[in-house]
Amino acid sequence: MTQKTYQLPTENLIIEVSKKDGISITHDKVGMKNIDENTPAICDMCSAPLGAYKNIDVKHILSPEVVSRAVKNGYRPEVMIKKSVEELIALGETDPKILAGIMDEYVESWIEMVDIGETPWALCDSCYAIIQKYLGAKS
Phi-psi region of 22 (alpha: psi -120 to 50; beta: other; left: phi over 0): left
pLDDT in tens, 84-111: 888 888 888 889 998 888 888 888 888 9
Identify whether the C-beta of residue 85 lies closer than 8 Å to the C-beta of residue 95.
no
Which residues on adjacent β-strands are paired with residue 5?
36
Beta bridge partners of 25: 15
pLDDT in tens, 10-43: 666 566 665 565 556 666 666 666 667 777 788 9
